[in-house]
Structure 1
Amino acid sequence: MQMWEKLRDPETGRKLAGKVRELAAQVCDRLGRRLIFMEVCGTHTMAISRSGIRSLLKDYLELRSGPGCPVCVTDQADIDRMITLARLPGVVIGTFGDMVRVPGSFSSLERERALGAEVRVFYSPAEAVVWAEAHPSQQVVFLGVGFETTAPGVALSLRDAARRGVKNYSVYVSHKLVPPALRALLDDPEMRLDGFLLPGHVSTIIGCRAYLFMEDYRMPAVVAGFEPNEILDAIRELLEMLLADRAEVRNAYAHVVREEGNSRAQKLLSEVFEVDDAYWRGFGCIPQSGFRLREELAAFDAARRFEIPTVESRVPPGCACGEILKGKLTPKDCPLFARACHPTHPVGPCMVSSEGACAAYYRYEREV
């Protein structure tokens, strides 16, 4: 059977599910408690909820969502600055679709667009550069949101804009780096986790070696693919490590992810960006967990190009997105979930994004 067939084969899935439940029962018997694994990828969160894996394993194992949604981890102050940028005369905001409906402290890009601001959804930053070149009288600000997966596309757009002399294009940089956030979780004395499902998309860029520090914490971790069978197989590896009292970083997505990652993408990122401290929703400032533009590209930095008025940012009362992103609460623990906060009236970003934990729970795991 070919690899792609195994990923979708129902019989393979049934066998894997049975094996995982068997192993989970053994580990639980040994430890005398249920296990807690964390997935750190919004696509994993959606796949786990959609496929029923969470409920399949609930007797032995809790799968808890972490800071894996790029829109969700964007700090409230950054959201507010993006919205403020949209209000500046002559500015066109370019963004991926998920950002449009994310609530800020006082508005959203969707609301500003309804009031007359120009907010355009682009499928890639390269498309935004082309649009800027065709509209030289307008300032196009692309919102650089995302992890190591989307950052290379933004880096390419900046290099392309510089090469072509597109001077009315800039980026508001709010990219985040996953490994420092994992370290912050592991350094938190309140966290009680038994293993990590590591993100597949991010790992194609940074490789498995970027996570080796987790072995120093004696924390088993496995890079997982996105098909239900791949996720179950990664969970199986975590359970086998726990039974063997091993704590390693393993790659269960080897047909896509290499140990060293994508060296060309890494080189591009290092040519365009410098690593800097960054603020995350729920975490505050995590040292060396984000990017800033190198000095030679400062002219393309929207935060420097424009005087952005300061606003007082605030998290909506009762919103638990920050604690959900840290894995300390689940969406169902939030008092607003499926009550005041739902997809047609999201209070926090975790209900907005297609990778948000609250959106996944609402769609697939909500008790009606």
Structure 2
Amino acid sequence: MKYLDEFSDPHLAERLLGQIHAATTRPMAMMEVCGGQTHSIIRHGIDQLLPEQIELIHGPGCPVCVTPLEIIDRALAIAARPDVVFCSFGDMLRVPGSGRDLFSVKSAGGDVRVVYSPLDALRIARENPDKEVVFFGIGFETTAPANAMTVHQARRLGVRNFSLLVSHVLVPPAIAAIMESPTCRVQAFLAAGHVCSVMGTSAYPPLAEKYRVPIVVTGFEPLDILEGVRRTVLQLEEGRHEVENAYPRAVRDEGNLPAMEMLRDVFEVTDRTWRGIGTIPRSGWRLAPAYAEFDAENRFDVGAIRTAESSLCRSGEVLQGLIKPHECAAFGTRCTPRTPLGATMVSSEGACAAYHAYRRLDLVEAK
């Protein structure tokens, strides 16, 4: 509760907003990379309190949202098998595949279980040696260490009925892809603090220098975000493009060294497809050859499953920051949390879900 109180102090927020307004002299567009930051911004109305010259662009920082449709369909195919216990965090169960979701598989008799840690899935595998137990390993660098450790433990303990369906993606290549897009309007980035708490900040100076953009590592509470914006505004106004750590209580420049060592042991870098965006070279992880036997995609031979994205859902444009959620014609009508067209409407970090939860009535009144 300490940080909830201290980092939501309205008097400090007012001071920071005053400094931001005083320093801003021209239009500027900055992208918050993390979906958790997006939800905090929309929930607290931070974007509406900033100077009108500042645009916050919502980036592809929701790991559930960028998991490609074909990976979801591979998960559904595995989960429907009678010999499989399919384990996942709860936020994946309502993400739509091409025809159904994991809740539908569960209601049809599939053994789909919500767990709170990949180690829970490993325990289930040890308790059920007659079943194949699969954990859906998605996310950015934040969740990857726990998944890597679990696979490492499975090999060490000789648990052969456990496997991992991997869909891990990396933030720095996504930043590069955004900056190299011909439609890019981003002038600066608020980097995801939890990613940097694992990986440190060493990947960002080359990006800041190459693309001449400020990158400010930012937390998730209202004052964290305002401080990140304040530092970014000062850099843009002064013509600087540096990496700054505005989240020092959680982020060290060198990162979490044991976690990174585990990641290097279990995973290797690979090309990854991002839902609604396409393939970004060297933007994800897959299991290294030493752990290939724990790869669920190979074990269940689902790698050939390919699926076309919905023509109705514009989540790809939302994830690239090209449109705001409410600018999609399906928002709040054909696409709602009960009837989602894409993951951005049901994920706890999805931009569409944030707008539907916190901004929907404002948008209706504005029409």
TM-score normalised according to structure 1 size = 0.95
CA positional deviation for 1:337: 0.6
3-state secondary structure, aligned to 2:137: strand
Name the counterpart of 1:56.
49
AA in 2 matched with 1:221: I
AA in 1 matched with 2:196: S
Name the counterpart of 1:179.
172
1:113–1:119: 8 Å Cα contact kept in structure 2? Answer: yes
Name the counterpart of 1:296.
290
Quote the RMSD (CA, aligned, Å).
Answer: 1.5
Name the counterpart of 2:9.
9
Name the counterpart of 2:87.
94
204-213 or 263-272, larger mean C-alpha shift: 204-213
The structure 1 segments of at least 4 consecutive aligned residues displaced by more than 4 Å after TM superposition are 2-6, 309-312
Name the counterpart of 1:31.
none
Name the counterpart of 2:36.
43
For 1:4 and 1:123, locate their aligned partners in 2 and report how far apart those are by CA, in whole Å. 23
- Residue deviations 1:131-166 (CA, integer Å, cap 9, x gap): 110011110110110000000000111111111111
For 1:221 and 1:293, locate their aligned partners in 2 and report how far apart those are by CA, in whole Å. 30
Q: Confirm whether residue 71 of structure 1 aligns to residue 57 of structure 2.
A: no
Q: How has the CA–CA distance of structure 1 residues 285 and 309 changed in structure 2, closer, same or farther, with 3 Å as cutoff?
A: closer
For 1:249 and 1:8, locate their aligned partners in 2 and report how far apart those are by CA, in whole Å. 25
Alignment equivalent of 2:151, drawn from 158, 161, 177: 158
Alignment of 1:83-232 (within 5 A): 83-215=76-208, 216-232=210-226
Q: Confirm whether residue 272 of structure 1 aligns to residue 266 of structure 2.
A: yes
For 2:248 and 2:221, locate their aligned partners in 1 and report how far apart those are by CA, in whole Å. 14
CA positional deviation for 1:307: 2.2
Q: How has the CA–CA distance of structure 1 residues 58 and 79 changed in structure 2, closer, same or farther, with 3 Å as cutoff?
A: farther
CA positional deviation for 1:58: 5.8
Q: Confirm whether residue 353 of structure 1 aligns to residue 364 of structure 2.
A: no
- Residue deviations 1:64-106 (CA, integer Å, cap 9, x gap): 1111000000111111111111122301111111110000112
1:41–1:66: 8 Å Cα contact kept in structure 2? Answer: yes
1:318–1:336: 8 Å Cα contact kept in structure 2? Answer: yes
- Residue deviations 1:286-339 (CA, integer Å, cap 9, x gap): 111111111111111111111228445122232011111111111011111111
3-state secondary structure, aligned to 1:92: strand
Give the share of equivalent positions with the same residue, in percent: 46
For 1:172 and 1:212, locate their aligned partners in 2 and report how far apart those are by CA, in whole Å. 32
- Corresponding pairs, count: 360
3-state secondary structure, aligned to 2:310: coil
Structure 1 portions without partners, runs of 5+: 29-33
Structure 2 portions without partners, runs of 5+: none
306-315 or 348-357, larger mean C-alpha shift: 306-315
Q: How has the CA–CA distance of structure 1 residues 312 and 163 changed in structure 2, closer, same or farther, with 3 Å as cutoff?
A: closer
- Residue deviations 1:105-129 (CA, integer Å, cap 9, x gap): 1211111111111111110001110
For 1:196 and 1:137, locate their aligned partners in 2 and report how far apart those are by CA, in whole Å. 48
TM-score normalised according to structure 2 size = 0.95
2:21–2:51: 8 Å Cα contact kept in structure 1? Answer: no
3-state secondary structure, aligned to 1:101: coil
